[in-house]
Amino acid sequence: MNTDEKYNGYKDLMSFTKDELTDYMISLDEKGFRAAQIYEWIHKKLVFRYRNMTNIPKKLAAMLEEKYIICPMHIEKKLVSQTDGTVKYLMCTADGNIIESVAMQYSYGMSVCISSQAGCRMGCSFCASTIMGLERSLTASEMLAQIYLIQKDMGKRVDNIVVMGIGEPFDNYNELIRFLHMISDENGLNISQRSITVSTCGIVERIYDFADEEMAVTLAISLHAPDDELRKTIMPVANRYSLDEIKKACLYFTSKTGRRITFEYAMIAGVNDTPECAEKLASYVKGMLCHINLIPLNSVKERECRASYAGAVRYFEKYLEKKQNNVTIRKGMGRDIEAACGQLRRECLEAKGKSFQENERM
């Protein structure tokens, strides 16, 4: 759990698992069942004020109030799409970092996209999140807080979670795993692991680790290119891991979990959308238990690249289907509010005159 300066000297109670909270209550000579009560207030009832926890003795509530913050984040700004009801949230951490989360309405329920880091050091050439490098990783409670604040604000249950906002979740592995266990805990919001997707640019060691966690979470891999040479030109992480290594790790994941992997392929005009790329992509995924998600690129002001023509996207879809693949084209959501990764955070930081030139990069 986190007890450092991120919280301005306070400790972070929301990151305690129920077992850790129980041990802590016992160490205070409190009854162990207080932990169950407090855990339920925070993670099920989403009550973030000790004084509103009506079954907690006043003395204990006052002591906790002095030392522990509960929700380490607040909603700074909210934008609602006029076209599809997508809501984009700018959230602010206790130490003043800005991140983004998005709530999207689908026929099957509300899906929330959360950030795993403030900034990103992966350096993908088409992505707005990485332009200013990595500020810091988010804690498990900061990931939980995005879900809790959105559920409270929208007044309805979050049904699906995608960890596809700002940041590389596998560059923040331990906090990610803690978050996944807590959000799917039956003592909390109890969101089914099957309704959660984690997206990575392909940090191979962590794919093996993730397979070994044996969770029912879906793994999505940002492929974006069907060969190493091309991939290196748009994703610096490709200099570290080859597509062959990624494929081996994915095969390990599917054999260990029995779960279908999603390959994400953002289509960039004239870069990775030629018929030859479609062919290479089909041969790369051949025989794998997978699903391919074609993503028409969201144009980012600072980036040169543009979205592929609709015809190229349809060609990929038809070609991959002909090769017996399971393919979908991602629906663009919230275009009018710049819902693509990191665009708003960047604008907000620029407006505040903040510079991240010195931040860490890969």
Residue 297: CB minimum distance to ligand SAH, A: 4
| Interface segment toward ligand SAH; rule CB under 6 A; list 17-25, 37-45, 198-206, 347-355 | 198-206
- Minimum CB distance to ligand SAH smaller for 2 or for 222: 222
Residue 39: CB minimum distance to ligand SAH, A: 29
CA distance 267 to 272: 6
168 scored as a contact of ligand SAH (CB under 6 A): yes
- Minimum CB distance to ligand SAH smaller for 348 or for 362: 362
What 3 state SS string does the chain have?
Answer: CCCCHHHCCCEEHHHCCHHHHHHHHHHCCCCCHHHHHHHHHHHCCCCCCHHHCCCCCHHHHHHHHHHEECCCEEEEEEEECCCCCCEEEEEEECCCCEEEEEEEEECCEEEEECCCEEECCCCCCCCCCCCCCEEEECCHHHHHHHHHHHHHHHCCCCCEEEECCCCCHHHCHHHHHHHHHHHCCCCCCCCCHHHEEEEECCCHHHHHHHHHHCCCCEEEEECCCCCHHHHHHHCHHHHCCCHHHHHHHHHHHHHHHCCCEEEEEEEECCCCCCHHHHHHHHHHHCCCCEEEEEEECCCCCCCCCCECCHHHHHHHHHHHHHCCCCEEECCCCCHHHCCCCCHHHHHHHHHCCCCCCCCECC
List the one residue from 81, 151, 199, 308 that touches ligand SAH (CB under 6 A).
Answer: 199
List the one residue from 71, 91, 98, 127 that touches ligand SAH (CB under 6 A).
Answer: 127
164 scored as a contact of ligand SAH (CB under 6 A): yes
- Minimum CB distance to ligand SAH smaller for 114 or for 191: 114
At which residue do the structure tokens 């891991």 appear?
Answer: 241
Alpha-carbon 148 to chain mean position: 14
CA distance 2 to 17: 12
> What's the token pair of residue 46?
């989403």
Residue 28: CB minimum distance to ligand SAH, A: 39
266 scored as a contact of ligand SAH (CB under 6 A): yes
Which of 30, 100, 142, 168 is labelled catalytic?
100
Residue 321: CB minimum distance to ligand SAH, A: 21
List the one residue from 222, 257, 272, 325 that touches ligand SAH (CB under 6 A).
Answer: 222
180 scored as a contact of ligand SAH (CB under 6 A): no
- Minimum CB distance to ligand SAH smaller for 300 or for 349: 300
**329: which strand partners?**
294
203 scored as a contact of ligand SAH (CB under 6 A): no
List the one residue from 297, 312, 313, 339 that touches ligand SAH (CB under 6 A).
Answer: 297
Concerning whether 341 is annotated as a catalytic residue, the answer is: yes
- Minimum CB distance to ligand SAH smaller for 140 or for 164: 164
Which of 71, 250, 277, 341 is labelled catalytic?
341
Q: Do residues 348 and 118 touch, judged by C-beta distance below 8 A? A: no
- Minimum CB distance to ligand SAH smaller for 21 or for 297: 297
Per the document, the length of the chain is 362
Residue 116: CB minimum distance to ligand SAH, A: 7
List the one residue from 42, 147, 201, 281 that touches ligand SAH (CB under 6 A).
Answer: 201
Binding mask 75-114 for ligand SAH (x = CB under 6 A): ----------------------------------------
264 scored as a contact of ligand SAH (CB under 6 A): yes
Residue 71 CB partners (closer than 8 Å, separation 6+):
14, 48, 141, 145, 148, 149
Concerning whether 120 is annotated as a catalytic residue, the answer is: no
- Read off the amino acid at residue 229: E
- Minimum CB distance to ligand SAH smaller for 38 or for 230: 230
# chain residues binding ligand SAH, by CB under 6 A: 18
Residues at the site binding ligand SAH, with contacts judged by CB under 6 A: 122, 124, 126-127, 164, 168, 199-201, 222, 264, 266, 295, 297-298, 300, 340-341
Catalytic residues: 100, 341
